[in-house]
């Protein structure tokens, strides 16, 4: 006769449930356990103590939609085709499924008996059509917007979510886990917060903003505007003009998310699933809150930037009893490594007709290390801007003709001195450039090569392979300011003031 553990969600540590939590616009610096003694993230700090914190984890593109698409597909933006934040095609008759026909990591898990759910941000088009293989679909309509009365989709029905979205997403995640715990199949839950994405000012509960009333915010530099700072409207302008209020809101958004995650992890424990649930927490892309004189991420400058503060993301992975506790991993890893790692860790097999760019770091999760020949280089792209980064050097190439950058990270970790014109660095530049060109040529789909598609940082309007004269695929300006202001239909909406 089957015992109670045989009829509930996975109790097998080697076929674990997957709780994949993604934050929105959270810099790697915005974590207490990463050394920031001003921001309060007690839940995530405990999660790091129970597992592994990766201190050199990079997104595949320093803006949300392409980075998230890479986590799901295991491919780079110039292959999956999501090359900028999705501006058009999220809802209704003009919807665009940007990942149509592509195999997602959730498809692999579903085919192996997992029940998959999405709660929160999708931002990859067709938000109002639940993805195949998902038994739960509660998606943000656009991917960004107000923290109160947020526009959501419940399965295929547009709804307005009353209350504070961070807390409400956490509640729905708790309910999903509670429901799935009574089923025999393991579950996959993508819990995608909109925090700590703008809006920041007057947008978060007082219990969290009060925590930062006297904070000096020494962890966020107050620098002159970057020479290429995009700036000019709403969020980016407020970041500079109302620096303190913006930082209070940003830090409060992180702490509120941390509290919501705490409730979700409590439910995992209450259901007896802690040792059989792999918990991943990571950011989609980095964020500058004054760093380098920028308020924003990769599209915070024109042309787009590849500073570590834009491309480095927080990443914590834990599964007590299977993943060693209290480790900090310094290997250079990327979002395209997540797909093969999860497949390996769950003991699944995925056959492909081509070599994907990522390599599994499941050996690290198991307490080992990467082979010495691996883990030393990561690559990044944002439209015509591509990056290759080793432990000590970073080379940024901008098509068609620059400006290019070379940073000596060993001696200039804050990326202050561009050495691309240094005659003594010529051989190093040539070697890094060749390495970059060779790697991308192996993984690019020529129909979707972002270097030729006119990616601006102002939003994507369609599939890149559909581009034609008179049919722009990328916006040429921020119609309402920065990407995070898209929800402000007329640029003058007043955000909800929490009590």
Q: Do residues 8 and 184 touch, judged by C-beta distance below 8 A?
A: yes
Q: Is residue 318 part of a domain?
A: yes
203-225 pLDDT, tens per residue?
999 999 999 999 999 999 999 88
Estimate the crossing angle of helix 64-73 against helix 338-345, to 10 degrees.
Answer: 40
Domain membership of residue 385 (yes or no) is: no
How does pLDDT run across 97-130, given as a tens digit for each residue? 999 999 999 999 999 999 999 999 999 999 999 9
Q: What is the pLDDT of residues 10-64, one digit of tens each?
A: 899 999 999 999 999 999 999 999 999 999 999 999 999 999 999 999 999 999 9
Name the β-bridge partners of 334: 58
Strand partners, 313: 57
Q: Judge whether 442 lies within some domain.
A: no
pLDDT at 236: 55
Average pLDDT, the chain: 91
- CATH number of residue 210's parent domain: 3.40.720.10
pLDDT at 277: 98
pLDDT band at 491 (very low <50, low <70, confident <90, very high): very low
- Residue 156: per-residue pLDDT: 95
Question: Sign of the CA dihedral 474, 475, 478, 483?
Answer: negative
Q: Is the pTM of this model over 0.85?
A: yes
Which pLDDT score, from 0 to 100, does residue 479 have?
A: 56
pLDDT at 495: 42
Please compute the mean of the pLDDT values over residues 454-481 and round it to a whole number.
82
Residue 44 structure tokens: 């995530």
- For residue 235, is pLDDT > 70? no
The yes-or-no verdict on residue 268 having pLDDT over 70 is yes
pLDDT tens-place string over residues 363-399: 999 999 887 765 579 999 999 999 999 999 999 999 9
- Classify residue 446: in a domain, yes or no: no
Range of the domain at 466: 4-376+462-485
425 inside domain: no
The answer to whether position 128 is within a domain reads: yes
Task: Work out how many domains the chain is built from and give that number.
Answer: 1
Q: Which of 229 and 449 is assigned the larger pLDDT?
A: 449
In a domain, 414, yes or no: no
Predicted pLDDT at 437:
98
Query: What is 234-293 written as a DSSP string?
Result: HHHHHHHHTHHHHHHHHHHHHHHHHHHHHHHHHHHHHTT-GGGEEEEEEESS--EESGGG
- Asked if 331 and 361 count as a contact pair (C-beta separation under 8 A), the reply is yes
Q: Is residue 15 part of a domain?
A: yes
pLDDT in tens, 127-181: 999 999 999 999 999 988 899 999 999 999 999 999 999 999 999 999 999 999 9
């Amino acid at each position: 006769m089957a015992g109670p553990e045989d009829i509930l969600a996975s109790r097998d540590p080697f076929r674990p449930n997957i709780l994949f939590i993604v934050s929105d616009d959270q810099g790697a610096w915005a974590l207490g356990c990463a050394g920031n003694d001003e921001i309060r993230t007690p839940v995530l700090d405990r999660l790091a103590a129970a597992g592994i914190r990766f201190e050199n984890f990079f997104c595949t593109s320093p803006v949300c939609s392409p980075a998230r698409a890479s986590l799901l597909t295991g491919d780079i933006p110039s292959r999956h085709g999501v090359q900028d934040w999705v501006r058009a095609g999220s809802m209704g008759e003009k919807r665009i499924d940007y990942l149509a026909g592509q195999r997602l990591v959730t498809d692999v898990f579903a085919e192996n008996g997992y029940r998959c759910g999405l709660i929160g941000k999708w931002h990859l088009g067709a938000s109002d059509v639940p993805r195949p293989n998902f038994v739960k679909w509660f998606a943000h309509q656009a991917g960004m917007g107000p923290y109160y009365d947020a526009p959501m989709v419940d399965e295929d029905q547009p709804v307005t979510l009353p209350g504070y979205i961070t807390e409400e997403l956490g509640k729905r995640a708790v309910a999903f886990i509670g429901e799935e715990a009574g089923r025999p199949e393991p579950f996959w839950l993508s819990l995608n917060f909109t925090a700590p994405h703008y809006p920041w000012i007057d947008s978060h509960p007082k219990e969290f903003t009060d925590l930062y009333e006297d904070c000096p915010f020494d962890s966020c530099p107050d620098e002159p505007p970057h020479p290429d700072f995009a700036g000019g409207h709403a969020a980016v302008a407020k970041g500079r003009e109302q620096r303190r209020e913006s930082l209070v809101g940003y830090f409060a958004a992180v702490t509120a998310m941390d509290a919501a995650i705490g409730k979700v992890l409590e439910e995992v424990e209450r259901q007896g699933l802690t040792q059989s649930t792999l918990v991943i927490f990571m950011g989609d892309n980095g964020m500058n809150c004054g760093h380098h004189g920028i308020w924003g991420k990769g599209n915070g400058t024109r042309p787009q930037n590849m500073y570590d503060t834009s491309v480095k993301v927080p990443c914590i992975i834990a599964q007590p009893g299977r993943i060693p506790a209290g480790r900090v991993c310094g290997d250079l890893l990327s979002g395209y490594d997540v797909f093969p790692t999860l497949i390996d860790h769950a003991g699944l097999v995925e056959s492909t007709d081509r070599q994907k760019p990522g390599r599994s770091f499941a050996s690290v999760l198991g307490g080992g290390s990467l082979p010495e020949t691996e883990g030393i280089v990561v690559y990044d792209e944002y439209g015509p801007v591509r990056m290759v980064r080793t432990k000590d050097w970073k080379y940024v190439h901008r098509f068609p003709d620059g400006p290019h950058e070379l940073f000596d990270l060993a001696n200039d970790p804050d990326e202050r001195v561009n050495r691309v014109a240094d005659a003594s660095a010529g051989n190093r530049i040539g070697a890094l450039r060749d390495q970059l060109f060779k790697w991308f040529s192996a993984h690019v789909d020529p129909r979707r090569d972002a270097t030729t598609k006119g990616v601006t940082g102002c939003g994507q309007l369609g599939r890149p392979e559909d581009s034609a004269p008179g049919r722009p695929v990328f916006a040429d300006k921020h119609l309402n300011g920065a990407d995070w202001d898209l929800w402000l239909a007329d640029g003058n909406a007043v955000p909800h003031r929490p009590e």
